[in-house]
């Protein structure tokens, strides 16, 4: 925002607190409209209103155009600043800031705020030097100029020096104790990358010896840039005492030259390395056909020694058959100046046929003679391989047309895939458009795609000769065929370049395998049911045998014992123990026979049989058992019902014997085609990692596994036990 005109004039006229500041208002032609007291005093301004003093007259001519440009920038509401040489007896450096305003009549005016860069002591030294070195300090534009006292402190410096060091005059004149900064803060080395102390600099050596000194120093600027600077220092002598009182240093920035020299050295090293290491023939000849450079391969190929071959005519160094073919091409490139490429065939004296891809091009030269570069790649082996490959491809094409097998070929370098008619007929697609690897992979069933892709990659990574996979492939009619794919890998120089394979439709075979597997499972199921029925029948027979025969024998034995009449006290005690043991045996056999003979075998359903077990337990113990069920499980086969009942019987037996539980929940239900049995108690539980499976749990696991089911026991000490069983319903 532009300040008000009246306010600016008042600030300038009343400005006393900024006595060191130079304040003035000028118009766009440079005429001074108003100035503060310090400005008037410094420039000896009198009668500004009547004389029409122009600010430009106090600027050094080298700064006038830059100052006018700064005024134009300020007119666009952009405050600009710059350093100027202002005439005050001698021209001395000042710094100015220019901003714009508008007077009462709407004309552009500019507020110029300046201050001296030099302090009074340095200004005195500066003025003394300026008497004889004015043009060097102010007008020296091509080189940086430094004037230093006998301690190395700056007296005067020109604008070019500030530009070289990427700084301003004001910052340079603010520097003090340069020796400490040079040795401790600044990074300055010589071209051998050794640090240069302040005492060893050209200007300090010139002060010390009284002789001119020069050296190239490498300076790292604050912005990270590195510059090569040539310092040339000349001592200055007092005319009266003839002693050195100051030194002037001329600084030339030679960074571009050093970088260019470095680049030339690097390019020369690269060129020599290329000529030595390239596996192909490379050469440079001049317009008179003299060999200037040659690659190691070129010299080796033609059995030449570098010292003997260079600077000799190439026509005398290589076989005549090659020269005859190449000479006309060289002449044509030199005549037109345009590069050329061609395939050249040559036959050596021993009958060897050679094929080269040759590139010819003109090279810029500083010697005055035109230079021609050549580069030849030996394609003889490649042409021979391609010839044999074409013959192989022709044979392969004939074979694929003659066979009824589905055959494919993948060129791994070009990505092209060939599939014969038999293969395309198998999958139902036409052969009009090329169908690459990605097209094929997208039609492999998603469940198989990654597996097949990983298998192919793994085979090539491990340098295997072949791979084989079976997968589902989507045909043109939308159906999937089960195919067996087998590929053979061709390697060149250790890299896979081609893959050839065959495809077989094994859909019918897979269907037969599925039918056989289903039939096998049915047979296994029937066998399992038969085994279970036989086992339960045998258990029932044993249970009845124990109950009807063994218990009868024991009962008879008890009668005989009861008929015995003991005489003494000991005999009576023996008789009583015998009777007790017989009764205990009868009771144990009764319980065992009851476990062996299941309730369902008497015609009850699974639910009724489980409920009977629960009722018997309720009669004998205080434990509470809750039974929740659905009747869909009555559709189970007889063998599975027996298995589930046995599991309930076994787990309840375990709970009564070990758990100290007060409550048991039993759930029997059908979920997603499986029968779930859950038995949960609130007993003491156990640690499954520290407790071995007992006979009871082992029996449960074996029975469930028999029907391909799942068993899970969840328990912790103090948190009861939950048994989960899932058996397929069908």
Q: In this structure, what CATH number is given to the domain that contains residue 343?
A: 3.30.450.20
67/102 same-domain check:
yes
Last residue of a domain, one of 313, 346, 378: 378
Kindly indicate the confidence band of residue 584, based on its pLDDT and cuts at 50, 70 and 90: confident
Residues 427 and 541 in one domain: no
Q: Is residue 490 part of a domain?
A: yes
Report which of residues 189 and 421 the model is more confident about. 189
Is 608 found in the same domain as 585? no
Q: Between these two residues, 693 and 339, which has the higher pLDDT value?
A: 339
Same-domain check for residues 128 and 239: yes
147 and 163 in a single domain? The answer is: yes
> Within this chain, do residues 91 and 128 fall inside the same structural domain, yes or no?
no
Q: Which has the higher per-residue pLDDT, 38 or 125?
A: 38
Q: Is residue 428 part of a domain?
A: yes
pLDDT for res 1 = 41
Same domain assignment for residues 151 and 239: yes
What pLDDT score was predicted for residue 292? 85
| CA–CA separation, 164 and 687 (whole Å) | 83
Per-residue model confidence (pLDDT) at position 724? 95
Q: How many alpha carbons lie under 13 Å from residue 316 in its C-beta half-sphere?
A: 10
**588 and 608 part of one domain:** no
* Mean pLDDT along residues 601-620: 79
Alpha carbon separation from 88 to 33, 44, 94, 406, 625 (Å, rounded): 20, 9, 11, 101, 116
Ranked by mean pLDDT, which of 204-218, 242-256, 288-302 comes out on top?
A: 204-218
Residue 63 has pLDDT above 70, yes or no: yes
Residues 532 and 512 occupy one common structural domain = yes
577: exposed, middle or buried (Cβ count in 10 Å: 0-12, 13-18, 19+): exposed
**Number of Cα atoms under 13 Å in the Cβ half of residue 667:** 12
Question: 290 and 315, same structural domain?
Answer: yes
Domain assignment of residue 688, yes or no: yes
Looking at residue 151, the DSSP 8-state letter turns out to be T
Q: What percent of the chain has pLDDT over 90?
A: 15
Let me know the angle formed at the C-alpha of 164 by 161 and 166, rounded to the nearest 5 degrees. 110
Total domains in the chain come to 6
Q: Domain boundary at 378, 398, 433, which? A: 378
The answer to whether residue 410 sits within a structural domain is: yes
In a domain, 260, yes or no: no
Domain containing residue 457: 384-494
Q: pLDDT tens digits, residue range 431-443?
A: 665 578 888 888 9
Task: State the pLDDT confidence band at 123, using cuts at 50, 70 and 90.
Answer: confident
Read out DSSP for 302-327? TT--HHHHTTSBGGGTS-HHHHHHHH
pLDDT at position 714? 92
**316: pLDDT strictly greater than 60:** yes
What are the φ and ψ backbone dihedral angles of 311, each rounded to 5 degrees?
65, 20
Q: Is residue 70 part of a domain?
A: yes
pTM for this predicted structure: 0.41
Q: In terms of domains, do 148 and 236 share one?
A: yes
Domain boundary (253, 281, 311) is at 253
Q: Taking a C-beta distance cutoff of 8 angstroms, is the pair 666, 679 a contact?
A: yes
- Least confident range of 626-640, 642-656, 666-680: 626-640
User: If 0-12 CB within 10 Å is exposed, 13-18 middle and 19+ buried, where does residue 211 land?
Assistant: exposed
- Are 130 and 245 contained in the same domain? yes
CATH of the domain at 631: 3.30.565.10
Confidence of residue 650 (pLDDT cuts 50, 70, 90): confident
Identify whether 500 is part of a domain.
no
pLDDT confidence of residue 601: 41
Torsion angle in degrees (nearest 10) through CA of 545, 547, 553, 556: -150
**Is residue 262 included in any domain, yes or no?**
no
């Amino acid at each position: 925002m532009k300040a008000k005109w009246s306010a600016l004039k008042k600030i300038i006229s009343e400005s006393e607190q900024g006595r060191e500041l130079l304040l003035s208002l000028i118009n766009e032609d440079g005429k001074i409209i108003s100035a503060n007291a310090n400005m008037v005093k410094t420039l000896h301004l009198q009668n500004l209103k009547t004389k029409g003093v122009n600010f430009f007259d106090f600027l050094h001519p080298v700064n006038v155009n830059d100052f006018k440009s700064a005024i134009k920038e300020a007119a666009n509401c952009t405050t600009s600043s710059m350093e100027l040489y202002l005439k005050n007896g001698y021209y001395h450096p000042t710094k100015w800031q220019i901003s714009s305003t508008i007077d009462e009549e709407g004309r552009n005016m500019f507020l110029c705020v300046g201050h001296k860069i030099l302090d009074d002591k340095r200004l005195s030294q500066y003025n003394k030097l300026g008497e004889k070195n004015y043009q060097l300090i102010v007008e020296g534009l091509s080189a940086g100029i430094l004037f230093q006292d006998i301690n190395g402190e700056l007296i005067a410096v020109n604008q070019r020096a500030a530009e070289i060091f990427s700084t301003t005059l004001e910052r340079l004149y603010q520097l003090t104790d340069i020796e400490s900064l040079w040795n401790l803060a600044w990074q300055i080395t010589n071209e051998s990358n050794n640090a240069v102390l302040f005492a060893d600099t050209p200007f300090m050596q010139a002060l010390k010896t009284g002789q001119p000194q020069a050296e190239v120093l490498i300076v790292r600027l604050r912005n990270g840039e590195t510059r090569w600077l040539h310092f040339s220092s000349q001592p200055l002598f007092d005319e009266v005492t003839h002693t050195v009182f100051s030194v002037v240093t001329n600084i030339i920035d030679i960074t571009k030259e050093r970088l260019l020299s470095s680049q030339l050295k690097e390019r020369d090293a690269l060129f020599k390395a290329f000529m030595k290491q390239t596996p192909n023939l490379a050469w440079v000849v001049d317009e008179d056909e003299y060999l200037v450079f040659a690659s190691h391969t070129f010299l080796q190929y033609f059995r030449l020694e570098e010292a003997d071959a260079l600077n000799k005519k190439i026509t005398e160094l290589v076989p005549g058959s090659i020269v005859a073919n190449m000479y006309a091409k060289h002449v044509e490139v030199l005549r037109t100046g345009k590069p050329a490429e061609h395939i050249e065939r040559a036959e050596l004296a021993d009958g060897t046929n050679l094929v080269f891809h040759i590139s010819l091009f003109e090279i810029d030269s500083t010697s005055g003679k035109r230079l021609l570069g050549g580069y030849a790649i030996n394609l003889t082996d490649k042409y021979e391989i391609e010839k044999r490959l074409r013959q192989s491809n022709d044979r392969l094409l004939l074979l694929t047309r003659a066979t009824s097998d589905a055959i494919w070929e993948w060129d791994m370098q070009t990505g092209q895939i060939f599939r014969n008619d038999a293969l395309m007929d198998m999958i139902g697609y036409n052969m009009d458009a090329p169908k690459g690897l990605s097209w094929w992979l997208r039609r492999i069933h998603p469940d198989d795609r990654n597996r097949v892709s990983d298998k192919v990659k793994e085979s090539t990574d491990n340098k295997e000769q072949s791979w084989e996979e079976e997968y589902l492939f989507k045909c043109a009619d939308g159906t999937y065929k089960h195919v067996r794919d087998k590929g053979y890998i061709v390697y060149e120089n250790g890299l896979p370049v081609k893959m050839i394979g065959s495809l077989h439709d094994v859909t019918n075979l897979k269907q037969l395998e599925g039918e056989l597997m289903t039939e096998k499972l049915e047979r296994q199921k029937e066998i399992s049911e038969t085994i279970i029925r036989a086992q339960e029948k045998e258990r029932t027979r044993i249970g009845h045998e124990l109950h009807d025969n063994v218990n009868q024998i024991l009962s008879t034995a008890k009668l005989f014992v009861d008929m015995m009449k003991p005489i003494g006290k000991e005999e009576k005690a023996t008789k009583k123990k015998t009777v007790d043991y017989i009764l205990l045996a009868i009771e144990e056999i009764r319980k065992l026979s009851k476990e062996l003979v299941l309730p369902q075998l008497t015609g009850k359903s699974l639910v009724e049989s489980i409920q009977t077990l629960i009722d018997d337990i309720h009669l004998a113990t205080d434990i509470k058992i809750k039974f929740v069920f659905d009747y869909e499980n009555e559709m189970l086969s007889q063998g599975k019902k027996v298995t589930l009942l046995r599991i309930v019987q076994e787990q309840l037996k375990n709970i009564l014997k070990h758990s100290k539980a007060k409550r048991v929940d039993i759930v029997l239900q059908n979920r997603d085609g499986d029968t779930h049995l859950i038995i949960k108690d609130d007993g003491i539980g156990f640690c499954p990692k520290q407790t071995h499976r007992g006979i009871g749990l082992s029996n449960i696991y074996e029975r469930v596994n028999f029907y391909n089911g799942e068993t899970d026991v969840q328990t912790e000490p103090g948190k009861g036990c939950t048994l989960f069983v899932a058996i397929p319903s069908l």
